[in-house]
Amino acid sequence: MDEQVFFKKLKSLCTSTEVFDFVSSLEVMSDTMASGALQRISEVEVDDSGLKNPEGVLQNEVFRALCFQFEFKSSKLSNSGLLNALQALTKLRIDPQSTLMASLLSEGEERLGKGQLTVKNLCALGESLLELEGPSCATLEQIVNHMQEKDIEKWSPREMVMVYKMLQVTVREGEQYQDLLNRMNSVTLTIVSQLSPKFTSVILNSLVVLHQTRAVPLVTALCKHSVKHIPYFTGDELVNVLEAFLYFGHREQIFTEALETHVPKSIFTMHPQTVSKVMQYCCRKMILSKPIFNAVAEGFISDADRFTTDQIAEYIIPFGTLNYLPPSASSLFRKLETVLHTRFSHFKPHTLLNLLHSCVLIQHYPVNFLPKIFSPYFLQQLQAQPPGLDRIVTSQLTQLFLTVALECPFYEGPKLLRKYQVKAFLTPHSSLDVHLLKRVKTGLLYLLKKRIYFASEVSTPYFYTVDIEIKLDEEGFVLPAAQCEEVHRRIALCVDGQNRFCVNSHNLLGEEAIKQRHLQLLGYEVVQIPFFEIESLQNHRKMAEYLHKKIFPHTYELSC
């Protein structure tokens, strides 16, 4: 039979039985056709869990006859026949120690040493070796060395992907094979539009593993290209893409929009680890996507019982970090409390603290669990495991303690000992926008005439730092900032730059929202000065007028 006709017929067969019947009907076939038959069997009989019908395939007489021919005539096979058969038998989980596999591998490596293999052959051998022997296989480096001598511009997308995968496991030093990588990155840039979802994901993952931070044009192109593949990525492939976005610091609005379409439709079929990675991506990039968060909340309510403790935390923490309560918030936190009651002891100490801290940011108070959190035993557990009781951990503990004192007066359990409390909170996301602060201070000087009437970056006895503080006496007159007597009112100006809000949003981050809430409960009059209200004010006078209306709305008009 003509090979072209053979492969067209082979492609139409959907079971191993059909393939065996077809093969046994032929009197003669080439080794390429025989290896093609093995490949088709591996395609229809192998899924994620392995070989579907081991006995029906491995004990079949036709299969055994094919294997016999490949084992004892390996030296007479064509390169394609040899290496395609090796690939197919590897996928069919044939014992790597068997004489059949040993014979094919030995012949393949011998031809590699003689330089007889084409790019396609080299990639087929590399794929089999990766599967059979893993990253420690020394022959992979030999294959990569041969690949360096080939014309990269003639490689197919599949061959390019295979070399990236081999480099992932063979590169041991910083600059090893970097010249090859630079050439591959340049050529890959020209074929991005041809890449399937799987190939896009594999290359992005390789660029992360190989630390290709200088391949910015390729990373950007792949990230944009990945948008159209979002509905078609497997869970693992989407995780790889999201990790690449995080590693390279990339963000695409159209990528977020594609996720917003995909996640709500697929939330009940997505693997929890994939959803966790989506939430991590949103959280790290400060993207408050209500369609995604609302869908994730529904998924949690429905399926949280089958999640790992890490996945539970990864689902919930972004709600607190980005200061968002979904419409189903009451059901969400009821489910969380049930899960915590059932599995409290299964959580790692730091995971548990992060989870409970995120809840108080959005005014959900885990009072039933706080006695355990403040217990000496739990604090010792925190100290014993990395990162121990560092500044971030003690800030979280102190904020939990302060929240209980200010917002849960009915709580009568143990308190946090003073030795575990910080003097001032560490707030990494909400660092002060120095440029914005300078503009506000200039406007205040224009308004109040003297610098002595306000203080900036004021430490309080309550762990928070106030951006700008103004003191008033009983009659409403402004007092010098240094004066401590006869202070009747304290005004806290919160100068909120873009880094205190979710991206492209006027929604304050959780850590800034709780700060402003607590300052109010501590007796401050909190006045928010958000960047989006003052970025268009062109001069000192306009800034002074704005500040006058915000800080002293009921007093006389400003006259300058």
Q: What is the pLDDT of residues 318-338, one digit of tens each?
A: 999 999 999 999 999 999 999
pLDDT, tens only, 38-62: 999 999 999 888 888 888 899 999 9
- Helix axes 99-113 and 119-133, enclosed angle (nearest 10): 140
Weakest-pLDDT range from 132-141, 142-151, 235-244:
132-141
Residue with more model confidence, 173 or 534:
534
pLDDT at 135: 83
Judge whether residue 559 has pLDDT over 50. no
Judge whether residue 459 has pLDDT over 80. yes
Tally of CA atoms within 13 A in the half-sphere of 355 that contains its CB: 24
**Pairing mode, if any, of strands 50-51 and 46-47?**
antiparallel
Q: 527: pLDDT confidence band, cut at 50, 70 and 90?
A: very high
Judge whether residue 1 has pLDDT over 80. no
- Helix axes 16-24 and 61-72, enclosed angle (nearest 10): 70
- Is the previous residue joined to 530 through a cis bond, with omega within 30 degrees of 0? no
Residues 284-298 have a mean pLDDT of: 97
CA distance 377 to 333: 26
pLDDT at 173: 63
The pair of three-digit structure tokens given for residue 477, joined into one six-digit string: 């007159």
* DSSP-assigned beta bridge partners for residue 532: none
338 vs 192, 366, 374, 404, 452, CA distance in Å?
47, 12, 21, 21, 54
pLDDT at 394: 95
Q: Which three-class secondary structure state does DSSP give residue 118?
A: coil
pLDDT at 137: 86
179 vs 118, 163, 244, CA distance in Å?
21, 14, 22
Residues 493-506 have a mean pLDDT of: 95
Q: What is 184-230 written as a DSSP string?
A: HHHHHHHHGGG--HHHHHHHHHHHHHTT-TT-HHHHHHHHHHHGGGT
The pair of three-digit structure tokens given for residue 192, joined into one six-digit string: 């991005």
pLDDT at 53: 87
Residues 380-399 have a mean pLDDT of: 94
pLDDT at 279: 98
Q: What is 427-449 written as a DSSP string?
A: -STT---HHHHHHHHHHHHHHHS
> pLDDT above 70 covers what percent of the chain?
98
Average per-residue pLDDT for the chain = 93
CA distance 143 to 133: 14
Residues 272-278 have a mean pLDDT of: 98
pLDDT, tens only, 482-491: 999 999 999 9
Please report, for the chain, how many H helices and E strands are present, in that order.
27, 7
Weakest-pLDDT range from 150-159, 172-181, 228-237, 247-256:
172-181
Among 219, 134, 144, 221, CA closest to 178 = 144
The pair of three-digit structure tokens given for residue 96, joined into one six-digit string: 């790597």
pLDDT at 428: 60
* DSSP-assigned beta bridge partners for residue 459: 465
Cα radius of gyration rounded to whole Å, the chain: 32
pLDDT, tens only, 224-233: 999 999 999 9
Judge whether residue 556 has pLDDT over 60. no
pLDDT at 99: 94
> How many other C-beta atoms are found inside a 10 Å radius of the C-beta of residue 346?
13
Judge whether residue 560 has pLDDT over 50. no
pLDDT, tens only, 246-274: 999 988 899 999 999 999 999 999 999 99
> How many other C-beta atoms are found inside a 10 Å radius of the C-beta of residue 120?
17
The DSSP element (H or E) to which 354 belongs, if any, is helix 349-361
User: Which residues, other chains included, contact 197 with Cβ-Cβ below 8 Å and sequence gap of 6+?
Assistant: 229, 232, 233, 234, 237
Judge whether residue 313 has pLDDT over 50. yes
**Pairing mode, if any, of strands 465-472 and 478-479?**
antiparallel
pLDDT, tens only, 56-107: 899 999 999 999 989 998 999 999 999 999 999 999 999 999 999 999 999 9
pLDDT at 174: 58
* pTM for this predicted structure: 0.89
CA distance 398 to 195: 50
> pLDDT above 90 covers what percent of the chain?
88
CA distance 80 to 58: 23
